Amino acid sequence: MKARADIVTAIVLGALFLGLYAITVPENHSEADNAFRYAWDVEHAPIHETLHRHHVLYIPLAKAVYAGTRVLNADVRAYPVMIALSMVAGAVALAFLFMALRQHLGFSSEKAFFAAGLIGASYGFWRYACEAELPVVAAAPLAVAIYVLTGPKINALGVLGAAVAAAIATMLDILAIIPALFAFPALLMGRGRRAPLLIYVLLLIALIVAGYAVANTSPFAEPALAQGEYDHVSLAVQGPSALGNAVLGFGRALLSGNYLFGLHPFREFMERVFSHRMLREELLIGVQAGTASAILPFILFILLGLVGILVADDRLGPHVVADEEEAPPPSSPFAPIRRAALMAMVIWFVLHALFLLGYEPANPENWILVCIPFWLGIILIWARDPRGLPTQALGTLFILFLLHNYFYFVKIIHSLLVP
């Protein structure tokens, strides 16, 4: 009965975010750098010309979905179909992450709901769930792999399923290889047997190599003009400034900050400090939005920061011991897998961040998948406190976070039309 209730809650969570994504698909697509090229490839390019070295499976998958709409005689272009694919993938990812938190990591329904919701409400995840882009599509199989690998018992079928899901994610977005190959094995450690870990790694590598062999390409191959890498502007930064750009890029993956470009002093500062970056879209949106549009989201940002400081400071409030579900003792069945999950999330976050420091650290698109280990890691660290996770504080944080990013979508991105 409990398992059925969890499944229903996961479906409700996915449906709510699917609806949220559907009503906030922006009219302004000026931030979509590659989406229209992807849509053109889906409709017109031969499949062998679309096997991009960094997302070898994305266009073929989108072509298959688009072909399905044609079979159903749906009169629709590829672009909205690909947006729908992103939205559904985002909803599926959140549902499986909820199930992992609830069933395998032992969190209450409310806390699992809010934790998964924070991922879904992160600006980068939300924005790209409403776009014909690949990061959120890759998040769905990653979430499936997390759900399988956090299970209490891993059999051969589970290892196979996790390896297949992780390989699919990697071939949808090459950045997914960081969790798939380096972080997820931590979820199989400490289980008494080494065979599942070894089988998972070998299967994963074999599947990825086989996939690229079939596509007749390699992640290290030279980019081709036919694969849509023309007119590419690199956002790579070298030296100490890379760290500041990484903070900017990751911050924009979490919170919508473009409304600040409506403030003239901020626009001047960003042009002076980050003159090397592509700020044309942000500047255009800021000028169109105006100063008044920055007031409400800025107030929400201040409130969000205050609540974040409050709930992060474990010295505030009375010291009470939580029940076993919230802060499991070492003897609890949830304690070992929570430790393994925390280790996996830390490995994922650190390796991904280190990689991006040398490869376009200011590009928020590259940080979208990092929203998953960031929020799951925070929840797992927070739950180690003897007092556990305060539901009201977590819920308040989620609501303010959602409203802050929602306001940006509805009042700025969704309503502004670029001539």
pLDDT in tens, the chain (419 residues): 678 899 999 999 999 999 999 998 877 665 566 888 898 999 888 888 888 888 899 999 999 999 998 887 777 889 999 999 999 999 999 999 999 999 999 998 999 999 999 999 999 999 999 999 999 999 999 999 999 999 988 888 999 999 999 999 999 999 999 999 999 999 998 776 788 999 999 999 999 999 999 888 877 666 554 444 444 445 555 556 778 778 888 888 998 776 677 676 777 777 776 655 556 666 666 666 666 566 777 777 788 777 777 766 654 555 554 444 555 655 566 788 999 999 999 999 999 999 998 887 878 889 999 999 999 999 998 887 656 667 787 888 889 889 888 877 666 655 554 43
| Beta-bridge partner residues of 52 | 55
Tokens of 257: 């900050």
CA distance 361 to 373: 17
Tokens of 169: 């994610």
Termini Cα distance of the chain:
54
CA distance 69 to 64: 9
- Nearest 5 degrees, angle CA 346-CA 220-CA 349? 10
Radius of gyration of the chain (CA): 21
pTM of this structure: 0.87
Decide if 310 contacts 373 (C-beta within 8 A). no
Backbone angles phi, psi at 257, to 5 degrees: -120, 0
Q: 215 by DSSP, 3-state: which?
A: helix
CA distance 331 to 42: 53
CA distance 99 to 353: 27
Annotated domain spans of the chain:
2-220+242-413
CA distance 353 to 280: 25
Tokens of 58: 């994305």
